[in-house]
Structure 1
Amino acid sequence: MKRAELYVLAGPVGVAAYGLIRLWAKSDGVYGPGFDWQAAHLVALAGMVCFVPGVLALSRLLPRSPWRTGVVILTMVGLAATVVQFGADIVQGLLAVDRAEMSALGADFKDIPGVELAVYDVVPQFFFLGLVVLAGMLAAKRRLPWWSVPLLIVGIVLPVVTLNLLPVAGLAMLVALAPALPALRQQGERAEPPLAVR
């Protein structure tokens, strides 16, 4: 399996793993700060980072155009905000001695002008919007089946209902994007330089 294919799979797997660790951590009624909080958020952060090369690889299945460039930029801006959000959660978990102090640190961070909109409420949604549009463009070019788009939307909406559905959301995203793997593999094979003939 090529590196591009792994990144496309690793992003959704990170979302699902984050959800599973979170559910396990909450089973004792205490979630954060501590090892369980850090483990969940580090896995989520790794998943978001893997989405960066994953999205770039998927975008290369489309012909170059201003639309493709715009969607990639939109998605990357959203991903950057999401990475900052998880990074802030990790730092707050390291600095706080209990849940109350962690919440206070989070509130202080959100009080910085522009942070709540840029890191929490608005800009991170660009990632999900861009991913859905990218999937739609891939479906239009038959690089993804038509059902990938609604399934991806389901995966994005489920955590809005409850974060306890994060494992299902990650699985839905994985199934939605996995049909692009053969095209990514073919693209990788075409990109490999021919062996030198001696």
Structure 2
Amino acid sequence: MRRAAFFVIAGPVCIAAYGLVRLWGKSDEVYGPGFDWQAAHLLGLAGMVFFVPAVLALSRLLPRSPWRVGVVVLTLVGLAATMVQFGADIVEGLMAADRAEMSALAADFKDIPGVEVAFYDVVPQFFFLGLVILAGMLAAKRQLRWWSAPLLFVGIVLPVATLDLLPLSGLCMLVALAPALPTLRQQVEQATAPAVVH
């Protein structure tokens, strides 16, 4: 839990940064492959990686139960699938000479049986579903605000309309999870406080 608050902040911030770098890369109408593509996707991948300890830390604010375990497993499975998706995008960007070749490589990867379901269309959504459910459970225990889960849902849905809204999506996620930060920091202080000998 020592760095829990950092991870809860870093995940959404990386998502927002991914969106900003993506917009910058698109500004010259030549986005990928290249530095801008790699930088954006590395930030997105970092965000997913940071969400792993963030989800684990947030879940520890809830009492132990099969529900808590199930939601965490669902969320982490979705995160793993999303990481594979980002990793594939990064590798394809490194291998391709131009946008057309990168699209062809992506199509070849998706043509592998089960890949599109596992890493694009279905399983990555478990991360977002699990995160919203986790936020709702935390709000029920007053570890988050009542509006945290709805705001998180809005942040998740925004990129569905257009990926250009990713910076706003990351901001919504950060604001939604921010009410848990004082409790996470308090737990760190309690864990590191010297024991008093009577």
TM norm structure 2: 0.97
CA, structure 1 residues 196+142, in 2 after alignment: closer, same or farther (shift >3 Å)? Answer: closer
Look up the match of 2:96.
96
Per-residue deviation, 1:189: 2.3
Segments of structure 2 that go 5 or more residues without pairing to the other structure are none
Residue 137 of structure 1 aligns to which amino acid in structure 2?
Answer: M
Look up the match of 1:45.
45
CA deviations over 1:72-96 (Å, ceiling 9, x no partner): 0000000000000000000000000
**1:125 matches 2:125:** yes
SS at match of 2:112: coil
Per-residue deviation, 1:186: 1.6
Per-residue deviation, 1:185: 1.2
Per-residue deviation, 1:192: 2.7
Residue 108 of structure 1 aligns to which amino acid in structure 2?
Answer: D
Look up the match of 1:5.
5
Per-residue deviation, 1:131: 0.1
SS at match of 1:80: helix
Look up the match of 1:105.
105
Q: How many matched pairs?
A: 197
Look up the match of 2:14.
14
Look up the match of 2:159.
159
Look up the match of 1:66.
66
Residue 41 of structure 1 aligns to which amino acid in structure 2?
Answer: H
Residue 24 of structure 1 aligns to which amino acid in structure 2?
Answer: W
CA deviations over 1:152-177 (Å, ceiling 9, x no partner): 00000000010000000000000000
Residue 164 of structure 1 aligns to which amino acid in structure 2?
Answer: D
Residue 114 of structure 2 aligns to which amino acid in structure 1?
Answer: G
Per-residue deviation, 1:190: 2.6
Segments of structure 1 that go 5 or more residues without pairing to the other structure are none
Look up the match of 2:192.
192
**Which stretch has the larger CA shift, 46-55 or 1-10?**
1-10
Per-residue deviation, 1:59: 0.3
Residue 29 of structure 1 aligns to which amino acid in structure 2?
Answer: E
Provide the rounded CA distance (Å) in 1 between the counterparts of 2:157 and 2:105. 28
Provide the rounded CA distance (Å) in 1 between the counterparts of 2:195 and 2:106. 54
Residue 90 of structure 2 aligns to which amino acid in structure 1?
Answer: I
Provide the rounded CA distance (Å) in 2 between the counterparts of 1:65 and 1:186. 23
- Name the % identity: 79
The runs of at least 4 aligned residues of structure 1 exceeding 2 Å deviation read 189-197
Provide the rounded CA distance (Å) in 1 between the counterparts of 2:66 and 2:193. 28
